[in-house]
Structure 1
Amino acid sequence: MEIIVRMTIIVFLAALVVMVSGCSVNKPFVALEEEPYIQNLENAHPSNYVAAIAPIDIGFDAAKINKEASGRFALIPVMDRLTELVRNSVRNAKVFEKLIDESPKTLDEAWKLGADIFISAKLSEYQVYYIGTNKLFVPNIINWFFFEVPSYFVRDEVYGLSGKIEFSFKSTHSGKELLSSTANFTVERSLDDFERGWQILGILRVPGSLSESNWFKVADSLKQYEEKEMQLSIIKIMNEDVRSAVKSDAFKQNMAKRCGLVVGLSRYKAEALTRLKFADDDAIAFRNALISATKEPTAERNIRILTNDSATKDALFKELGALVKRLQPEDEMFFYFAGYGARRLRTMKAETKIEEKNEGENEGKEPSEPPEKGEDSKEQTFAEPALLLFDSDPDNPETFVPLLDIINLLKESPAKVVIIVDAGFGTEKPLRSAGFDVKDALSFKELFISLVDEKQFVILSASDCFLGEGAAEFEHQKHGVATFYLLEGMAGKADIDKNGSVTLKEAFLFLYPRVVEESQMEACAQHPFILGKGIENIILK
């Protein structure tokens, strides 16, 4: 009897040891914020990009996988929870200046929300699976044989949960693919009978006896650890792949976009301004050529157009202000104008420079007038080129838009700016000139050139806007003369070196002699000019 008692005590103690060992077989849980990798990100500096994440897609057929697979079970997670985890991970990686709260479905929606980068994520794998038994399995069989109930609490079965999220990053401005990266996460834990879902003789029958409810129970038991590993994996690819990518020249070039504002007016509110024949068509044709040459999926959205009654003074500055706000140093900005031009008087000191302005101060607003005359300042009156919008009054030069004011607004952007003007600045109205009289005024040309940063700005005028030339229209070609030859050049006729592309320099060399010749045939002197540096590097087509 004494021997039986001793043996019972020994077996009981052995069972107790197995049960205690089974309870402590797994490593203790460490919270995400306590991971050394996460703590090292505390001083990370974000880029200046704003990002938005699309709703997460599911990239697998769970029902098909579960029908064919054995020992594993594909899961469809709770999408709201998955979205929350992914968003928090991207935000905690501190790669972007801001992550927008909304979840846009398309590139355009992300752009409208103010995002620079559109992130799409696809869950391409998410499954729980049976790995096998651990070293406690055989002792626990003995435990089960003598003391069934304690064996239920021994973690002698090993299960895993793995997932894969594929990320794609696109520029909302250019529509170009920036990079792609995949977050792989796996968690493996030993579970007891209750953690994998209790069943009679389960210790002897798994994994073949595991039902759908058992798999869900396993997934629920691993959830805390899986969510942490998922977030850690996403944060790592964001920090290691994306953070290094945003610093590269290739990334910046793919972020770059060609954008612009194209304005064309054949009709004006003022009856004194005779209807022009082809100015609005010029604008439409130039925009189409620019979009076609750009070959970016976002070009149509990035290149805005105002024609006739929509081309008011307020609309012009609103559109320009919105464009300036989104420009990056790698971008190209085009401003094209076809319509009436004029020269107006501007009184200013000859040594005046374009006034520096605080960032964002004048976005979307009309630039201020020149400084008032000081007692000791030596001021002169110049004839400066200006453009007439739909609501401009030809008898009131204050309603004109000086070209210098447009430059003053666009200088707030870091991008290269190309300004193309097909307008007249003389006194003969049929030649796209409003005919405002500026006699006795000094030429604005030298001062204008001194005020313009030729590294940032390129200005192509269809006529000499400082000498007061007009801009002729082609009756038989249905275009302004200069715009017609510009379009012809962009179509390939200006490809002097036959390399398949047309630079702004090539286009100007093509159009200049032809415009001069045609304008002479139209009995008006017209000499296009171009101002600025790097015109050989600006690719029109």
Structure 2
Amino acid sequence: MCRLVRALPILLLLVGCGVGKPVMAPNRADVKELLTTVKTPLQFSAAIAPVSLPKQASVSHRFAALPPIPAERLQTLLVDVSNEMRLFKKAFAVKDGSKPPLEAASNAKADLLLVPKFSDAEVYYAGTTKWFVPNIFIWFFVDAASWFVADEKYGIYLKGDVSIYSVHTGKHLFTLPIECRVEAALDDFQRGWKFWGIFFVPKRLNASNWAKVTRTLLPHLEEEIKAQFIKRVLSSFFSFTKTPQFASLYKPTKETTPSTPAKPTEKPRPLTMLTKTLPPAEEGKKYSVRLQANGGTPPYKWAVKGLPKGLTVESSGLIQGVPADGSGGKRYSVIVELTDSRDGKVSAKLTLMVKARQAAPPVAKSSPVVYAVVVGVEDYKGGNVGRAAFALRDARAVANAIRSLNCHKNSSVILIEGAKATLSVLKKTFAAVKACDIFVFFFAGDGATSFAEGAPHCLLLYDTTFPDMKNALSLNNLLKLCRKVKAKQRLLLIDAGFNMSGEGRTPAVTEVKPKIHPLPRLKDKDVVLIVACDGTQTAYSSGLSRVRHGFFTYFLLKALAGKADKNNDGKLTEDEIFKFIESRVKEESSNMQTPVKLGEGKATLLLKSSK
């Protein structure tokens, strides 16, 4: 038991053990993202010169020393990361020898020379960790070793830059700044053994201790150097290579070398035209072909006569252009003439076939998209609103009729029935309507004239309270909702009455009625509204087996079935729908119900494909 008690502090403190393995540079999120973005390496070969390190520590801490970092190790690191990450086409090290690095890089056929130089370096003691005091307790009072407790913090720092030169011009191109600092908590072994170290560290840290700390932290520092080098090359330097300034500094100066005159005994080969045939062209399509030759004395000069309209030739022998309209379906005899720099000439007669333009396949006309919102309210939440007979049957039949329009394949019909037909639901439904060619709204249910100022005509929804008309939808608000719908045409169909007589589709008022008046005239050109009756009338329905609908809906269904298409053109206009319904409803109701058309908008539904 006592042993367990003595071991318990050790188990707790080992949680704070020394620094582990470093995070590899390519696995860091920012480096990984950059490597994914820039997939193509720089198309230059790079020579990396020996690394220059400072001779003395740039001490910024009280207890510090110059880290013993091998320069060859850093040079190898930069070469390896350049090749492994494909930062350049190829990277290699320039050995420290008698030749200057630029000359050595030129002899090795490199494009760029990278010269790493670090001006500041330091390995230092950064203080104690939170485990220092508990470690003293273990060291003095518990029979247990505390060497593995990371109670001291150390750091390593390196600052400098990598200068990039053009091997071709010897000019300085760019400088990549490198500044890395790594700090970590170390245990006694990672710091290097020190007798009675708990008392003498950091005052008596010697060269051996600083070397041990350097070896411990160097792998972490190297990964930091790699990460910064990758980011600087693929972001800053990569962007610089796309600038005119880079091109002017990197591009080697062109030196004209006088050509060696041909010996008097040497004769040039005969001038020969290699192009024997021309590939066919097509009217209206891009055409490009380069004429070929050898022998003679370059440079060559070409001329072509007889090309079809739209095609031209350059003196370099490039024939290009787009054959003009009307040039297709013909063969053209063209004369090709070739001249070299010594006035040698050859010519040939070639044939160029221009194919007629291929007729584009007919584009199938897409049928207009219809988006419909169909509402039916038969029974109401409040008990003082009369039942609208057959209203649900009307709404379902109209929804099916719109879905059955053969030429509106991509149509959407939303059916809202009974308790779902509330003002909030309708507003959300209208807001969700997608852009379409034709928007249709149909309502079957009770209507009324409001007691409010102006006595607006209203549609009674499921949760409308009566007679205060709370949650009712006035025709004005309905028109506002419809105008917000993105549609080329808007058609509104209303099967409801408004005269508050208690007959048909309007409730009865036992008290004083509001002022009953006709429906207002509309001059809107973006909507057309067809109502079952005027504001002073009501909308009737019939229970006869042949009807069992509202009069208005009964004849609307016949119109949508094609009965209203007088000229048999497969199209159903708003005028054809209205005139068909008006005459038949008046007849069926003995002139007690007269449908009304409001607005100057247009709407056309397709019954069948137009020929």
Q: Structure with the greater relative contact order (CA < 8 A, sep ≥ 6): 1 or 2? A: 1
Larger radius of gyration: 2
Report the TM-score range of the alignment, normalised by the length of the smaller protein.
0.3 to 0.5
More helix per residue: 1 or 2? 1
